[in-house]
Amino acid sequence: MPETNAVVFIVDDDEPVRKSLARLIRSACLTVETFAYAQQFLDSHRTSNPDCEAPRCLVLDIKLPGLSGLDLQKRMAENNIDIPIIFITGHGDIPTSVRAMKAGAVEFLTKPFRDQELLDAIEQAIERDRVARRQRADMAKLRGRYASLTPREREVMELVVSGLLNKQIAGELGICEGTVKIHRGQVMEKMQAQSLPDLVKMSEKLGGFRATGL
Amino acid sequence: MNHNRTYRFWRSVAQYLLGSIALGMLTFVCFRFDVNPTTVALLYLIFIVLVSLKGSIVTAVLVSIVAYLCLDSFFTKPLFHIAMSETLDVVAPITFLTTSLVITRLMTKVRKSFQEIQALKDHLRLVIDTIPGLVWSALPDGSAEFLNQRWLEYTGLSLAEGLDWGGKVAVHHEDIGRFLSEWKTALVEGKPLETEARLRRADGDYRWLLIRAVPLCDESGKVVKWYGTSTDIEDRKRAEETLRMSQADSAHVARVMTMGELAASIAHEVNQPLSAIVNNGSACLRWLTGNSPNLEEAREAARDIIREGNRAGEVITRIRAFLRKTETEKARLYINQTIRDVVILTRNGAAGKGIALRTELSNDLPAVLGDRVQLQQVILNLVMNGVEAMASMPDSRRELLISSRQDETGQVLVAVRDSGIGLAGQDLEGIFDAFYTTKSQGMGMGLAISRSIVEDHGGRLWAVPNDGPGATFQFTLLKYQEEG
């Protein structure tokens, strides 16, 4: 049973189809927001809070006046709008569907589709969004913790996860072993790592982040 | 005629006179200079040969005798007496007579041969100038050698102008490039040429010609001469063009491009309302059977289903109207001419498939009120179907018969009869349904469209299996009524 606060966006220029989709999705206890054109959706998204609580997904028609469905997918990727997309279309040809799926769509449905097909795809998309959100949130927390480390603590952390003993670290940094132990403790606490392997995993996740420097 | 005879008579007299004088002078000179008799005899012989070349036996014999007499009198002993005393007296006359006879005979034969040759040449020239075609010949390098009378009359050029192919002979500028390259290829490869190009006629019009040329080769295979004919195919080309344009104009053929395109657009147009209907139906059920039923939503859903159902119906209606020809141009029309137009177009193609196109058109058919382009389409469709029905037949009698007559009710009846695979096992009415086809390709719209055209003309189109192989498709058309 999908969360009641999940939001489904619908973009389809055919009004009766749009309304019928909205009605169907509402009947599955989901919140719906409809748009007639891709540009409308983009505009509204810019002004809204990108990191709100509720997981979201987008039900998108391929053939739209102006910006097409596939173009919107590209635009969203360019602007880091990470909302899972379910494509719907009146005529599905293989090249288009392959393009859409390769670019990361959750599903590609041809009209008319059975209600269960759409609702299953929406559930899948919302789950995907939920997972993505959690990962983003976790990552944000991790970065926050890392940001709280002092420069010296970061140096120590780097040497610790590379497998050096405290003595070696002391030699490397030109400080005494005792100081190293203190720094190490601070790192473990601030990063909230339970064990050395934990810390290593965190370090890996932070990999790209660290490389760019703070 | 008399003038001629008189002239000829006096000419002969003059010739005899001249001859006698010549002979006399020769004799006198020889006598004076005391020429050896044998020499004289030889000189006389030369004279006899020359006379014999004229071909008249009488003259030649006469001269022979006179020469002998002169020889005998003036040059052999006894002088001034004619007597056979020496060898020469016997040999000379024999020689003279033999020579004159032989040469005159020969000359007669030669003259006769020449006459025959000339007669043959004249006859041949007459034939070449008479046959209804433009005939020409060219040298191996491609330059013109001979042009028949018809060619000259057609182009309005003189022989000198015509032979200068680069000059006044006007090939249409759009065709000349292609024509010259094909002609050059033929010249180089020595292979027969068959091509079409527009040539300017004497009256200034450019007309399509079918140009054919074949090479004449010697024993070593080298091309010695090119012989060619050019046939005016302007009428055929016009007919082809008209039908092609009318097919392009014909709204339902132009717009109905391919089955795939049509299907795609129908799919899209119809899928939208269908999709809305399915979504609304599902939503309706969910709203009614969920934990908290919402009757208002269900009602709205049901209303939308009805509305979308109607929308789908409208789409179908629009497509059908789109397929049916909307505007027709009906005028007084003689259907036999339309049939003949279609035959011109299809005869070659049918012949290429080994199928003979025959017509039995009634002579006193009344006019009908019809759209020429549309009726052409119908007849063309039936003919093409018939040709295809017979294409897979073994070499039995492959004949397509198009007939026209008046039926019992006075309507004009056109029938297309084939001897092909026939209609066994097929619904005689169902074959006229849209999208019905037994072919692996094609939309199956031909008969449906044809029937709709015929019915639009107030007639009927139906199919009847033949007693023998094949089927006959017939349609009726209303007579043209003069405005009251």
ipTM value, please give it: 0.74
What's the pLDDT tens digit per position in A96-126? 899 999 999 999 998 888 899 999 999 999 9
Q: What is the pLDDT of residue B396?
A: 64
Strand runs (DSSP E) across B218-351, as ranges? 223-232, 331-333
Q: What is the pLDDT of residue A209?
A: 56
Q: What is the pLDDT of residue A18?
A: 94
Q: What is the pLDDT of residue B252?
A: 47
Within 8 A of B277 by CB-CB distance, chain A residues are: 20, 112
Among A10, A18, A27, A91, which would you mutate to test the B interface (most chain B Cβ atoms within 10 Å of its Cβ)? A27
**DSSP H/E element including A95:** helix A94-102
Report the candidate in B79, B71, B63 with the shortest Cα–Cα distance to residue B30. B71
Distance from CA of A113 to the nearest CA of B (A): 7
Report the candidate in B457, B407, B465 with the shortest Cα–Cα distance to residue B431. B465
The residue of chain A nearest to residue B261, with distances taken between CA atoms, is A91
**Tokens describing residue B481:** 């009524």
Task: Render B274-296 in DSSP notation, one character per residue.
Answer: HHHHHHHHHHHHHHHHSSS--HH
A105 in Cβ contact with A77 (< 8 Å): no
The Cα–Cα gap between A194 and A202 comes to 11
The pTM for the full model equals 0.44
Q: What is the pLDDT of residue B244?
A: 65
What's the pLDDT tens digit per position in A71-103? 999 999 988 888 999 999 877 788 889 999 999
Q: What is the DSSP letter of B1?
A: -
Q: What is the pLDDT of residue B484?
A: 44
Closest partner residue to A23 among B301, B307, B308, by Cβ? B301
B373 in Cβ contact with B446 (< 8 Å): no
**DSSP H/E element including B251:** helix B251-255
B416 in Cβ contact with B383 (< 8 Å): yes
Q: Please, which residues 248-267 of chain B have a Cβ atom closer than 8 Å to chain A?
A: 264, 267
Task: Render B404-434 in DSSP notation, one character per residue.
Answer: EEE-TTS-EEEEEE--SS--TTS-TTGGGST
Q: Going residue by residue through chain B (484 aa), what tens digit of pLDDT does each one get?
A: 677 888 888 888 888 888 888 888 888 888 888 878 788 888 888 888 888 887 678 888 888 888 888 887 777 766 776 666 677 777 878 888 888 888 888 988 998 999 999 999 999 988 988 888 899 999 988 888 888 888 888 888 888 887 877 666 788 877 888 888 888 888 888 889 998 888 888 888 888 899 999 999 888 888 899 999 999 888 888 887 777 666 555 544 444 445 556 677 777 778 889 999 999 999 999 999 977 888 999 999 999 999 999 988 888 887 777 666 555 678 889 999 889 888 887 877 787 778 888 899 998 899 999 888 788 888 988 998 888 888 877 766 688 999 999 999 889 999 999 988 888 878 888 888 877 777 766 656 678 888 888 988 889 999 999 988 889 999 999 888 876 4
Within 8 A of A19 by CB-CB distance, chain B residues are: 276, 304
The Cα–Cα gap between B259 and B263 comes to 6
Report the candidate in B367, B372, B371, B376 with the shortest Cα–Cα distance to residue B480. B367
| Contacts with B295 (C-beta within 8 Å, 6 or more apart), sequence order | B287, B288
Q: Euclidean distance between the first and final Cα of chain B, in Å? A: 71
What are the residues facing B227 on neighbouring strands? B137, B214
- Inform me whether the pLDDT recorded for A185 exceeds 50: yes
Contact B283 A27 (CB under 8 A): yes
Closest partner residue to A20 among B276, B290, B294, by Cβ? B276
**Tokens describing residue B333:** 């029309």
Give the position of tokens 């029309």: B333
Long-range contacts of B228-233 (CB under 8 A, 24+ apart): B228/B135, B228/B136, B228/B137, B228/B138, B228/B193, B229/B133, B229/B134, B229/B135, B229/B136, B230/B133, B230/B134, B230/B136, B230/B151, B230/B199, B231/B133, B231/B134, B232/B154, B232/B207, B232/B208, B233/B196, B233/B208, B233/B209
- Inform me whether the pLDDT recorded for A61 exceeds 70: yes
How far does CA B62 lie from the centroid of its chain? Answer: 62
Task: Render B67-81 in DSSP notation, one character per residue.
Answer: HHHHIIIIISSSTTS
| Contacts with B307 (C-beta within 8 Å, 6 or more apart), sequence order | A16
The Cα–Cα gap between A198 and B293 comes to 50
The Cα–Cα gap between A109 and A117 comes to 8
Report the candidate in A114, A117, A60, A68 with the shortest Cα–Cα distance to residue A89. A60
Give the position of tokens 């007849």: B379
Strand pairing report for B368-370 and B331-333: antiparallel
Residue B249 — left, alpha, or beta (φ > 0 → left; ψ -120 to 50 → alpha)? alpha
Report the candidate in B446, B389, B386, B442 with the shortest Cα–Cα distance to residue B414. B386
B305 in Cβ contact with B284 (< 8 Å): yes
Within 8 A of B271 by CB-CB distance, chain A residues are: 90-91, 110-112
The Cα–Cα gap between A210 and A191 comes to 14
The Cα–Cα gap between B325 and B33 comes to 113
What's the pLDDT tens digit per position in B184-216? 888 888 889 998 888 888 888 888 899 999 999
- Inform me whether the pLDDT recorded for A52 exceeds 70: no
State the count of interchain CB pairs (< 8 A) between A and B. Answer: 81
The Cα–Cα gap between B276 and B296 comes to 18
Q: Please, which residues 285-304 of chain B have a Cβ atom closer than 8 Å to chain A?
A: 286-287, 290, 294, 297, 300-301, 304
| Contacts with A84 (C-beta within 8 Å, 6 or more apart), sequence order | A57, A58, A105, A106, A125, A126, A128, A129, A132
A108 in Cβ contact with A100 (< 8 Å): yes
Among B279, B286, B306, B311, which would you mutate to test the A interface (most chain A Cβ atoms within 10 Å of its Cβ)? B279
Contact A20 B308 (CB under 8 A): yes
The Cα–Cα gap between B137 and B145 comes to 5
Q: Euclidean distance between the first and final Cα of chain A, in Å? A: 42
Closest partner residue to A91 among B268, B277, B278, by Cβ? B268
Using CB atoms within 10 A of its CB, is residue A98 exposed (0-12), middle (13-18) or buried (19+)? exposed
Strand runs (DSSP E) across B201-351, as ranges? 206-217, 223-232, 331-333
A51 in Cβ contact with A45 (< 8 Å): no
A interface with B, Cβ–Cβ < 8 A, is 14, 16-17, 19-21, 23-24, 26-29, 63, 88, 90-91, 110-115, 118
Within 8 A of A61 by CB-CB distance, chain B residues are: none
Rg (alpha carbons) of chain A, rounded to whole number:
24
Task: Render B126-190 in DSSP notation, one character per residue.
Answer: HHHHHSSSEEEEE-TTS-EEEE-HHHHHHHT--HHHHH-TTTT--B-HHHHHHHHHHHHHHHHHT
Within 8 A of A24 by CB-CB distance, chain B residues are: 279-280, 282-283, 286
Distance from CA of A111 to the nearest CA of B (A): 5
